[in-house]
Amino acid sequence: MYNGLKNRDFLTLAEFTREEIQLMLDVAAHLKSRFKMGERVIPLLPGRHLAMIFEKPSTRTRVSFETAMKELGGDVIALHSSEMQLARGETIEDTARTLSRYVDGIVARVYEHRKLEKLAEYSSIPVINGLSDLHHPAQGLTDVFTIMEKKGRDISKLKIVFVGDGGDNVAHSLMLAVGLLGGKLVISSPKGYDPHPSVVKLFNETAVKYGGSFEIERDPWRAVRDADVVYTDVWVSMGQESEREKRIRDLEPYRVTSLLMRQAKPDAIFMHCLPAHRGEEVTDDVIDGKWSVVWDQAENRKHVQKSILALLIP
């Protein structure tokens, strides 16, 4: 049914053109509408198998990808890296070659982005990034899908603000997703928490030509003023536990509270990729309040990932 992107990897959003990103979003909207009309299984991938490799714990990524694949008529094999021969010294290269003979696609959730690149290099099947230290593209695609649902298709007219650690994987993928669609992201973070230089380079090589841009605003109150969308993420990601005290101290002024949200437009929305550390990066009255669309955002992971799977898996 969908042929344009077969056998492509999905490691970062920068690997795709604006038109390809828009295709993924359009297919996601189509599949979601069919699901809402009662089509619980749309057999676009019958007989296909998806391997999912987890180095990190997961709730939303695992459940959303697993249900997405099954609702497309396929099946899933979930593997924790500690249960695989990877834990006993087998190379990523050999794992990639072997899995390519068994399954039709791989989702991997890893600590180091380089592992995904190596997995993709030696796989003959699509490799999909389920999260790495630098990128979370399925989340980024879901984020713009949700923004467009709530605020209209032309995100270039919106003020979208990310508050907190501008160097985390969610901020990186949101930055690329918004930029590739011609929008602008305002990142409000303290010094030392700016986007990674490699991601800035990707942005400049890809999103800029579509009119995308981003800016850093150190003052969160100024950043959020008249915003249409306010987004935050946890301050201490998996693997950063040793930095916890410093990160909380540095990022405390960037907590999203109801007072901060009142600087945004009256109809602004609040977004968070979850899980949330309530009381740290966001207060209960915001995540549970009138601004919050986080549960719709979480649901949309499944529909957007259906699109990714349907388009990429041969």
Could you tell me which residues come within 8 angstroms of residue 200 by beta carbon, excluding any fewer than 6 positions away? Answer: none
Question: What local confidence, expressed as pLDDT, does residue 243 receive?
Answer: 86
Is there a catalytic annotation at residue 109? yes
C-alpha span between 21 and 14 (Å, rounded) = 10
C-alpha span between 30 and 27 (Å, rounded) = 5
Tell me the sheet residues that pair with 271.
Answer: 231
Question: What local confidence, expressed as pLDDT, does residue 264 receive?
Answer: 98
* Tokens standing for residue 314: 């041969």
Catalytic residue, chosen from 104, 233, 303, 305, is 233
Question: What local confidence, expressed as pLDDT, does residue 4 receive?
Answer: 73
Catalytic residue, chosen from 9, 133, 139, 165, is 139
Location of each CATH 3.40.50.1370 domain in the chain? 13-135+298-312, 139-297
Q: What string of DSSP letters covers 132-168? A: -SS--HHHHHHHHHHHHHHH-S-GGGS-EEEES-TTS
Query: Contact, 155 vs 132, CB < 8 A?
Result: no
3.30.1360.20, 3.30.1300.10, 3.40.50.1370, 3.30.470.30: which CATH number matches 139-297?
3.40.50.1370
pTM of the model: 0.96
Could you tell me which residues come within 8 angstroms of residue 164 by beta carbon, excluding any fewer than 6 positions away? Answer: 171, 188, 189, 193, 232, 233, 235, 251, 254, 256, 281
Q: What is the CATH number of domain 13-135+298-312?
A: 3.40.50.1370
Give the H/E segment covering residue 265: none
122: exposed, middle or buried (C-beta count within 10 Å: 0-12, 13-18, 19+)? middle
Extract the residue ranges of the chain whose pLDDT is less than 70.
1-3, 238
Is there a catalytic annotation at residue 284? no
Cis peptide before 275 (omega within 30 of 0): yes
Is there a catalytic annotation at residue 26? no
Catalytic residue, chosen from 255, 301, 303, 305, is 301
Is there a catalytic annotation at residue 285? no
Pairing outcome for strands 229-232 and 160-163: parallel
Single-letter residue type at 23: L
Question: What local confidence, expressed as pLDDT, does residue 277 receive?
Answer: 96
Catalytic residue, chosen from 109, 172, 196, 303, is 109
Query: Contact, 279 vs 234, CB < 8 A?
Result: no
